[in-house]
Amino acid sequence: MQSIDQQIRVLVAKPGLDGHDRGAKVIASALRDAGFEVIYTGLHQSPEMIVNAAIQEDVHVVAMSILSGAHMTLFPKVRELLDGAGANHILLTGGGIIPVEDIEDLESRGIGRLFGPGTPTTEVIDYIQDWFEDQETS
């Protein structure tokens, strides 16, 4: 259990048109069980909706689940909107069906780590926790 002043807040978002949010829900409950406060917004979120929510909720992390194949536009778009809104401190991460080359490309463009299908949720939790601790000490 975390003490309150290091309560990590994560927005779990499901952008795009595909109607499968099982993956997003699984990760949302896993993060909750790891002691995070998880804001879940439901399906069909536009990048603008996601960024608005991230700012209002003042989250540390936005995690997007993308299965539609639109990752190459959605991740950079959300990053750009976050930065434009003065929220460059927010980590953008996520997962879905994303080819390895695309992951490398995106990660080199300021997106955080991206996780493929079937990644154990503990890996995502550890990644967020480590990132958060680095933030706090730097």
Partner 1 sequence: MTGPLESALAELLERFHDGQPVALGRAISLVENERPGFQDFLHEVLRVGPRAARIGFTGPPGAGKSSLLSMVATNCRTQDEQLGVVAVDPTSSYSGGALLGDRIRMSDLATDPGIFIRSMATRGSLGGLATTTKEVLDLMDAFGFDRVLIETVGVGQTELEITAAADTVIVVLVPESGDAIQTMKAGLMEIADIFVVNKADRPGADRLVKDLRQGLHLRAATAIESAPAHHGLDLARIMRKESCEEPRGPGWSPPVLSTVAQSGEGVEDLMDTIKAHRFWLEESGELEERRRGRRKVRIQDVVDRELRRTAWRSDTVLAELDQGLERIQKRKDTPYSVAWDILDRLLR
How far from the centroid of its chain's Cα atoms is residue 69's Cα? Answer: 16
Single out the segment in contact with partner 1 by CB under 8 A; choices: 54-62, 63-71, 111-119, 126-134.
Answer: 54-62
With binding defined as CB under 8 A, does residue 1 bind partner 1?
A: yes
63 beta partners: 12, 93
Q: Which residue has the tokens 């460059």?
A: 88
Q: Which is nearer to partner 1, 108 or 137 (CB)?
A: 137
- Where does this chain touch partner 1 (CB under 8 A) — which range of 51-59, 69-77, 104-112, 130-138? 51-59
- How many degrees, rounded to 5, is the angle at CA 42 between CA 99 and CA 44? 60
Q: Burial of 108 by CB count in 10 Å (0-12 exposed, 13-18 middle, 19+ buried)?
A: exposed
Interaction residues for partner 1, span 56-75 (CB under 8 A): 56-58
- By CB under 8 A, residue 5 contacts partner 1: yes
Residues that contact partner 1, how many (by CB under 8 A): 33
Of 70-78, 82-90, 103-111, 128-136, the segment contacting partner 1 by CB under 8 A is: 82-90
87 binds partner 1 (CB under 8 A): yes
First to last CA, the chain: 23
Q: Which residues contact 88 (CB under 8 A, 6 or more apart)?
A: 82
Within 29-48, the residues that bind partner 1 by CB under 8 A are 29, 31-42, 44-46, 48
CA nearest to 63, candidates 15, 132, 120: 15
82, 102 in Cβ contact below 8 A?
no
Q: Residue numbers of the site for partner 1 (CB under 8 A)?
A: 1-2, 4-5, 7, 28-29, 31-42, 44-46, 48-49, 52-53, 55-58, 85-87
